Structures are given as C-alpha cells and as structure tokens.
Amino acid sequence: MIVLGVESSCDETGLALYDTERGLLSHALHSQVAMHEEYGGVVPELASRDHIRRALPLLEQALSSAGIAKTDIDAIAYTQGPGLAGALLVGSSVACSLALALDKPVLGVHHLEGHLLSPLLASDPPEFPFIALLVSGGHTQLMRVDGVGRYTLLGETLDDAAGEAFDKSAKLLGLGYPGGPAISRLAEFGDPTAYTLPRPMLHTKDFNFSFSGLKTAVLTVVKSQQTNICEQDKANIARGFVDAIVDVLTAKCVNALRHTGLKRLVIAGGVGANAQLRASLNAAAAKRKFRVYYPELEFCTDNGAMIAFAGALRLKAKPDAAQHDYSFNVRPRWPLDELEAA
C-alpha cells in the first residue's frame, strides 16, 4: 500500500510517499525559513500562500523520484493539526481534493504523532514500549509510548518549548531566525565556565520543564554586557545556555526511564537535531545502560515523510482509518492524548 503524506502545519511544505512493503519511496520538502527570516519569525499569512505555491510542484517531485504515477497512490494522509489554521487548511484541501480526483481514501494525521513516530523510520528502529522526549518549536513533552496512539503524558513544559527557548535566546544574541542551529554552533566555541545559567526545575520530582526563566537569564547577561558584547562573549553565553538546557533535558529523560523501568529512549522534533543534546544523551545512555534512538537528521524538523509514515502505520492497524469522506476540518489545537489507539 502506497501512502502519500502531506505536511503544511507551519513553515515547511512536505510531500512524501511511503510504501508499507518497501518503506519510504521519496520525500520532497520546501522550507520557508528564508522567507520568514526578515520578520524574525513565521508570518502565518505568508506561510499559507507559500504552501499553495509549493504543494503541487513538490508532489510532482516526490512522484518522479519514486518513479510512480498519481494513480499508484492508495491513500492520502495529511496533517490535520495542531499548527497554524491557514497553513493546515492548505495541506488539507490539497490532500482532500487530490483524493477526490483520484477516488482514494484520506486520513487526517496528528502532527506530533508524526514527530513522535519519526525515529521508527530510521534503520534499526526501537520497539514499543519506550520513553519519548518530544522537543520541537512548539512543544516539550515527555511521554510513555506503548504503541501507535498509546501515549501517556508524563510531563511537559509549563511555559516556553525547548525550541522556542533556543530561538528566543538566539535572537537575544543577534543570531537570526530560527536560531537553534546557530546558537548550537556558536556554543562550540564558548567557554563552559564563563557563565553558569539556571537549570530550571532540574531537581523537581515531576517530569515538567520550564524554560522562560533561562531565556530571561540570557537577556540579563546580554543586557549587562551591552556596551560592547564581543564575539567570544556571545559564544560563552551561547555555551552557558546550551549546557543548561541540555542538562535539564537529559536529567528529566533519565528520571523518566528510572521511574518507568524502561530502557529505550526516543527523541523527536527539531531540537533532537542538536549535537550537544545528542552527545549528552549518548553519554548518559552508556553510563546508565539504556538505548537512545533519534530520527534521521533531515526528519527531526517538519517533513512529509513522518506524516506518510504515521498514516501508513494507522492504516496498517486499521484499514478503514482512511475514508472516502472529503469534507475536512483542521484542528489548530489538538491535544495528543485525544488520539485513539491504532
């Protein structure tokens, strides 16, 4: 069965083809980062308009690199939420009109389920159950995952998401948008002893996070230096920030593993691409005898492959999960725990 995946929840348009027999056939992606950069963040209306321009050319690209025709598609999975309403509407309408034209069934997919299952696309995927740390631009959640759609939330951020903290702190250092990768690169040149920033909620017994205070700490340091903040000092602050956030994320993952007795940890979402986080988790895994699994780097941030894949897993479990019902609604806010088990 070949599933087309359509992702358009934020500022990436992604189309991908996943075959339940042969695996991922192809994926095509356009990131709008350059377009939104001059505004310092995503402009929703511009995002929607750009999804309209990109969707069909990306579909052609995905089809031709897979070497199949539109009529070979068996079902279409699209991101129904959460995300920007206008952006979601573009992907949903593209998916549903295509399905109508081809007389194929459609299935709305939860964007975070896509992220969460993306590490299973890698070679040597983890088995259920596992602990998942979802660290994206809009979410920071620790979950126990017992199967597709069987998610128990252990804890989450009380304020900013991890990716948001990276982006906001990077902005304070004048690093542009999105600043996650830039602040991470800069931190490599920083002195780890120059600034020790707070590690919010590091020692609380729960699995929640809070990152807005860390961002404020970056602001306070930047302000105190403002007369002439040199490049080395920026790198030192970046290092202080990255070390603090990585320490907290690692400690909470270790606690969740200890609490549940599980030995598998899965990382998903854009911040999962972070090199310092991966190094810290790998070191903890070696020391504490658990295994950690990551998505391929290109599937950490938004993409169509994870949507095609999540749709395919749901269809495998329940063939009537996709319907010939082409009326659609998007769910800009959609808690993950409202999903049914597959």
Q: Which residues contact ligand ATP (rule: CB under 6 A)?
A: 10, 83, 111, 115, 136-139, 163, 166-167, 178, 180-181, 184, 269-271, 273-274, 301-302
> Which residue lies nearer to ligand ATP by CB, 29 or 75?
29
Give Cβ neighbours of residue 82 (< 8 Å, ≥ 6 apart). 9, 110, 111, 112, 138, 331, 332, 333, 334
Number of residues that bind Fe ion (CB under 5 A): 2
What letters, b where the CB count within 10 A reaches 16 and e where it falls short, cover 182-218?
bbbebbeebeeeebebebbbeeeeebbbbbebbbebb
264-268 β-sheet, strand order: 150-156, 140-147, 130-135, 264-268, 291-293
- Piece in contact with Mg ion (CB under 5 A), picked from 3-11, 54-62, 75-83, 329-337: 3-11
| Nearest distance, CB of residue 72 and ligand ATP, angstroms | 29
**Distance between CA 313 and CA 319 in Å, rounded?**
10
| Nearest distance, CB of residue 156 and Fe ion, angstroms | 15
302 known ligand binder:
yes
Q: x/- string (CB under 5 A) for Mg ion, residues 10-39? A: xxx---------------------------
180 known ligand binder:
yes
Neighbouring CB atoms inside 10 A of 263's CB total 15
For residues 163 and 271, is the Cβ–Cβ distance under 8 A?
yes
> Which residue lies nearer to Mg ion by CB, 34 or 230?
34
Pick what 139 binds: Fe ion, Mg ion, ligand ATP, none; C-beta below 5 to 8 Å, kind-dependent: ligand ATP
Closest by alpha carbon to 277, among 302, 252, 305, 260? 252
Q: Which residue is nearest to ligand ATP (CB)?
A: 270
138 known ligand binder:
yes
Residue type at 7 in one-letter notation: E
**Distance between CA 108 and CA 331 in Å, rounded?**
10
176 known ligand binder:
no
What letters, b where the CB count within 10 A reaches 16 and e where it falls short, cover 289-307?
ebebbbbeeebbbbbbbbb
> Which residue lies nearer to ligand ATP by CB, 144 or 168?
168
Q: Is the dihedral of CA 158, 288, 273, 153 positive or negative?
A: negative
Which member of 255, 302, 311, 315 binds Fe ion (CB under 5 A)? 302
174 known ligand binder:
no
- Piece in contact with Fe ion (CB under 5 A), picked from 14-22, 132-140, 150-158, 193-201: 132-140
163 known ligand binder:
no
Residues 286-315 that bind Mg ion (CB under 5 A): 302
Closest by alpha carbon to 284, among 256, 250, 257? 250
Query: Which of helix, strand or coil describes residue 46?
Result: helix
| Nearest distance, CB of residue 288 and ligand ATP, angstroms | 23
> Which residue lies nearer to ligand ATP by CB, 5 or 137?
137
> Which residue lies nearer to Mg ion by CB, 10 or 84?
10
12 binds Fe ion (CB under 5 A): no
Q: What is the CA radius of gyration of the chain?
A: 20
Identify the burial level of 145 via C-beta atoms within 10 angstroms of its C-beta, where 0-12 means exposed, 13-18 middle and 19 or more buried: buried
228 known ligand binder:
no
> Per the annotation, where are the binding residues?
111, 115, 134-138, 167, 180, 274, 302
**Binding-site entries for Fe cation:** 111, 115, 302
Residue set of the binding site for substrate: 134-138, 167, 180, 274
Kindly list the residues in this chain that would bind Mg ion in the complex (CB under 5 A): 10-12, 302
Name the site residues for Fe ion (rule: CB under 5 A): 136, 302
